[in-house]
Amino acid sequence: MTKKIAFQGENGAFSHAASANFFPGEEYLGCVTFEDTLNAVQSGKADYAVVPVENSLYGRITDIHHLLPLSGLHIIGETYLRIEMNLLGVRGSTLADVKAVQSLSVALGQCRKFISDHGFRTINAVDTAGSAREIAQKGDKSVAAIASRFAAETYGLDVIASNIEDAEHNTTRFLVLSPTEKLASNEGKVKTTFIFRVRNVPAALYKAMGGFATNGVNMTKLESYMVGGNFQATQFYADIEGHPDDPSVQLALEELNFFTDKFRILGVYPQAEPR
């Protein structure tokens, strides 16, 4: 049976491409906001969601860190997508035809040198995929979009110039979310994601982290954010390498629990390698 995968954005968005990488050949459902994306899975409109959680240039995706713990969804996988910006034009257009480029402001900023070198006028838009769609609809050779190759295929555009971004290491990590918990086996490389809140005692965070160091557990991510706008209620989001059934992880989590008043595992899933 075909699965339906929810993502934030229009068809051809980078999240659409990440969804197709993890779930090839399935049905994909574009959503306007991250809230809509998670709700699609919560309500049964979609089987899974693929959402960005962090980018190598811009850091964490703040909305996801706030929404995920409250969603009731479970992380069952991760995938990395190299963000490659391309200049897309209508069929038959060339670089000499282009006078203006349209895209998301962030995408335009990531291609500042290319745009400057060619003297293009910039047009800010809501997103990259939407820009590709609009360029295809207008059919104007003088205006091009900056978007993914996936968007070019989606909307029938030509790739006029490839990999025009200033930074070559632009990569986004995506999480795969499910309404049901699916814990990975402890064979192979496994990652565990959890949230916790430390007790309001001196050096609680330092002591809570000590168990991971003494037991040789690698913590690959630790993010803090306020809960409910309260400066005294700080919650932490963490990724570690290892499975909760591993003896070293068990010991580290036991020590963590001594100094926390809230702890919940969001997912135990196979570790993906950045590509």
| Radius of gyration of the chain, Cα coordinates, nearest whole angstrom | 21
Angle between helices 204-214 and 247-258 (to 10 degrees): 170
Helices (H), 58-180: 62-71, 105-110, 112-118, 128-138, 149-155
Rounded Cα–Cα distance for residues 35 and 42 (Å): 10
Q: Which residues does 1 contact at the CB level (< 8 Å), separation at least 6?
A: none
Token duo for residue 263: 């702890």
Among residues 174, 194, 236, 259, which one is catalytic? Answer: 174
Helix (H) or strand (E) holding 77: strand 74-82
- Answer yes or no: are the C-beta atoms of 176 and 77 closer than 8 Å: yes
Q: Across-strand partners of 154? A: none
Helix (H) or strand (E) holding 86: strand 86-89
Rounded Cα–Cα distance for residues 97 and 123 (Å): 16
Among residues 128, 172, 192, 193, which one is catalytic? Answer: 172
Q: Is 231 a catalytic residue?
A: no
Residue the block writes with tokens 């995968």:
5
Q: Is 258 a catalytic residue?
A: no
Catalytic residues: 172, 174
